[in-house]
Amino acid sequence: MVQKREAYAPWSLTRKAGVQSATVNGDIEVPQFIQPVLSTGFVDEDGNWKGQKSSEEAFHSFGLDVGIPNTGAITQPQISEGTIWPLDMTGFNDLFIAIRPTNGGNYAIIAIMGPADNAFANLRDVNAGATLRSAYRNSSSSMENVIYDSSEALTADVWNIFSIPERLKNQKLLQFHITNNSGGESDIETAFMRLV
């Protein structure tokens, strides 16, 4: 590509330099360069650098709850080594939740507010364990449960992976309350992956 070209300008270089008698019209040199730009973030109104999120490529926050009886419940993710704790969806749109039970059958899966000892932005003492509720753009004006699946059939000894688009976007202090309604005792393993 041509790196320099001439373009019409409504002034001449001489007039621009301050000579009033110079002609009004003229050409100016316009340099043109093609250069790739990589944007990895921005500076906010306070001057703080904010990196752009990217989708996670692997599941994380693995949890294993052993010997959960029928009608027994677990809350995941919990604090453990290598866990993103609690799940923070700030900058993320979608979520994959993976559940691997040792006993097949029905399980209730509910999105809840995380623990009260962690801050939600700058607020403490949140209503821990409460079902997350939201008013959606394309629904009525009343609040609705964000994720409240009372009877999801899971297959034993394999990862059951569910995609949750948009509903948990930017949610902080996110946890899931999972109830074993399979009819028998079950070990329940869970993992999560966030997507932009």
- Per-residue model confidence as pLDDT tens digits over 177-190: 999 999 999 999 99
Compute the distance between CA of residue 150 and CA of residue 102 in angstroms, rounded to an integer: 19
Compute the distance between CA of residue 165 and CA of residue 105 in angstroms, rounded to an integer: 24
Which three-class secondary structure string do you get for 120-132? ECCECCCCCCCEC
* pLDDT attached to residue 67: 97
pLDDT grade for 8, boundaries at 50, 70 and 90: low
| Least confidently predicted of 29-38, 96-105, 157-166 | 29-38
| Least confidently predicted of 42-51, 98-107, 133-142, 169-178 | 133-142
* Whole-prediction pTM: 0.76
Give which of 109, 94, 110 is closest to 164, Cα–Cα: 94
Task: Residue count of the chain, please give it.
Answer: 196
Same domain, 22 and 68: no
> Is residue 171 in a domain?
yes
Angle at CA of residue 42, ends 38 and 44, nearest 5°: 175
Same domain, 112 and 179: yes
Structure tokens at 82: 């290598």
What is the rounded average pLDDT for all residues in the chain?
85
> Is residue 42 in a domain?
no
Q: pLDDT > 70: what percent of the chain?
A: 80
> Is residue 44 in a domain?
no
Long-range contacts of 141-148 (CB under 8 A, 24+ apart): 145/110, 145/111, 146/111, 146/171, 147/109, 147/110, 147/111, 147/176, 148/110, 148/111
Contacts with 142 (C-beta within 8 Å, 6 or more apart), sequence order: 135
* pLDDT attached to residue 142: 84
Same domain, 117 and 155: yes
Same domain, 26 and 72: no
* pLDDT attached to residue 18: 66
132 in Cβ contact with 112 (< 8 Å): yes
Per residue in 64-94, pLDDT tens? 999 999 999 999 998 766 566 678 999 999 9
Cβ atoms within 10 Å of 177's Cβ, excluding its own: 17
How many structural domains comprise the chain? 2
Better pLDDT: 104 or 3 = 104
Give which of 41, 46, 86 is closest to 63, Cα–Cα: 86
Same domain, 19 and 63: no
CATH number of residue 72's parent domain:
2.60.120
Per residue in 105-152, pLDDT tens? 999 999 999 888 888 888 888 999 999 999 877 766 788 899 999 999
> Is residue 45 in a domain?
no
Same domain, 160 and 68: yes
> Is residue 132 in a domain?
yes
For the residues 141-169, what does the mean pLDDT come to? Answer: 94
* pLDDT attached to residue 105: 97
Per the structure, the complete domain to which residue 8 belongs is given by 1-35
> Is residue 184 in a domain?
yes
Compute the distance between CA of residue 72 and CA of residue 67 in angstroms, rounded to an integer: 9
